[in-house]
Amino acid sequence: MTTCRIGVIGLGQRIAHVLAAMQEVGWDLRVDAHVDAAPVGAPILAAAGIALGRPCETPEALLREGPFDLLMLGGPNHLHREHLAAVFHAGVPIFAEKPIVRTEAETLDLARALAGPGAPDLYIGLVMRSLPIVREVIARVDSGDLGEIVSIDATEHLPPEHGGYLARNWRRRREWGGSYLLDKVCHDFDIFGRLIGARPARVASFGGRRIFTPERAGRPRTYEDGSIAYDLRDAGWQGAPDAFTSDMDVTDHQVALVEYANAARLSFHANSHTALAERRWYVAGTEGTLIADLVRNRLMFRRALHRGKPERMDFGDRTADAHNGADQAMARDLAEALAGRAVFPVTPWDSLEAGLTVMAVDRAMEDRVMLDCAPMWAAYDAARSGAASTQSASRS
């Protein structure tokens, strides 16, 4: 393998972890240049023994430092569209972090660009697609073991230190992160769409801020053993000093109901301050039921008319980042895709559709309505087919 020459725009914790995982699974790589005035990922790269490369002021300046074999985009979510546009026609494959973009208007804009001439090879970091347990869930559903998917119940519940980080980091502001659900669980909604095989038709959602509020600022700040509960990690770019008195404007807990076009129904419950962490998908089909426990990396399955013990699979590989080896698996998938030996497990279109799904959920919550998604999908399909849509999905 010749050395992969990489340019990075937005060298935060995430891209640093992905680069470290790439190296760990055998990539011969070198970061030749980066755009990031204060790279939050620098210590992670240093620990992995990867140099930062030359600092550049802008993406355009970075491109002049080429040639590159891969460009990696890892800025905050509001910069994804802008950074993608800056390198779109550079003729270099791009790995970009999720969510692919932050708003409905950006989604339509990018869909038009992707449908147009000269679109690059674009790989989106919806890392759960590479996770062995998720691959197994998809394979089970595709094999027909569950029959038709009737309903799904899913959760993501974070421990206090993780919620506290979200409340201090740039993700706390809609203008930067988009929303709590968009940043945190676009992964899950991507997989649900893939399992169900249809788009959401109607969505409803309730949520708000009842945890990280100034009224609760006087509550204890440590666990019972004295360890720090909320300020564990540096909050990084645009970080706020305090989780409870920051200018946070996204939700800290939210529930959603989704009815898909093929009548599959889904409920989702997310909370950013729980004592019992959970990321769990309960998938009920006409012929069988499956529980994927993404925290413990375990899967359970039983056919509807079986009374014996459920089949259990333990995928091991549990890691503190709750990614359970997904970064390494994605690094392998990316290497295979770049070499033309395999198709990357997720497309930019999947990413756009997962993002739109979550954006619809958030819009339903904000507008206090049950949202009919048909106009949104019509606008998206028009953009995909290259039409200058007159339908509005123009929230910015």
User: Could you list the residues that contact ligand NAD (CB under 6 A)?
Assistant: 9-14, 35-36, 38-40, 74-77, 79, 97-98, 125, 127, 170, 183, 236-237
**What dihedral do alpha carbons 106, 107, 112, 118 form, nearest 10°?**
90
Nearer to ligand NAD, 25 or 257 (CB): 25
Using the CB atoms, write b or e for 207-222: b if 16+ within 10 Å.
bebebbeeeeeeeeee
Nearer to ligand NAD, 241 or 340 (CB): 241
Read off φ and ψ for residue 154, nearest 5 degrees: -140, 155
Tell the smallest beta-carbon distance from residue 40 to ligand NAD (Å).
Answer: 4
Contact 288, 303 (CB under 8 A): yes
Nearer to ligand NAD, 137 or 264 (CB): 137
Cis before 99? omega within 30: yes
Nearer to ligand NAD, 106 or 183 (CB): 183
Nearer to ligand NAD, 104 or 190 (CB): 190
Which tokens in the block code for residue 56? 């550049």
Nearer to ligand NAD, 127 or 290 (CB): 127
Nearer to ligand NAD, 38 or 305 (CB): 38
Helices (H) and strands (E) in the chain, counts: 12, 15
Nearer to ligand NAD, 261 or 322 (CB): 322
Collapsed DSSP state (helix, strand, coil) of residue 195: helix
Tell the smallest beta-carbon distance from residue 256 to ligand NAD (Å).
Answer: 19
Nearer to ligand NAD, 132 or 197 (CB): 132
Return the HEC string of 287-349.
CEEEEEECCCCEEEEEECCCCCCCEEEECCCCCCCCCCCHHHHHHHHHHHHHCCCCCCCCCHH
Contact 26, 52 (CB under 8 A): no
Tell the smallest beta-carbon distance from residue 368 to ligand NAD (Å).
Answer: 27
Looking only at the bridges linking them, the beta strands covering 29-35 and 54-56 are parallel
Which tokens in the block code for residue 107? 């989604």
Tell the smallest beta-carbon distance from residue 301 to ligand NAD (Å).
Answer: 26
State which residue has the least CB distance to ligand NAD: 12
Between CA 295 and CA 303, with CA 298 as vertex, the angle to 5 degrees is 135
C-alpha to C-alpha distance for 354 and 113, rounded to whole angstroms: 18
Tell the smallest beta-carbon distance from residue 77 to ligand NAD (Å).
Answer: 5
Nearer to ligand NAD, 68 or 260 (CB): 68
Contact 95, 152 (CB under 8 A): no
Tell the smallest beta-carbon distance from residue 183 to ligand NAD (Å).
Answer: 5
Tell the smallest beta-carbon distance from residue 377 to ligand NAD (Å).
Answer: 24
Tell the smallest beta-carbon distance from residue 309 to ligand NAD (Å).
Answer: 33
Contact 251, 209 (CB under 8 A): yes
Looking only at the bridges linking them, the beta strands covering 278-285 and 288-293 are antiparallel
Contact 87, 71 (CB under 8 A): yes
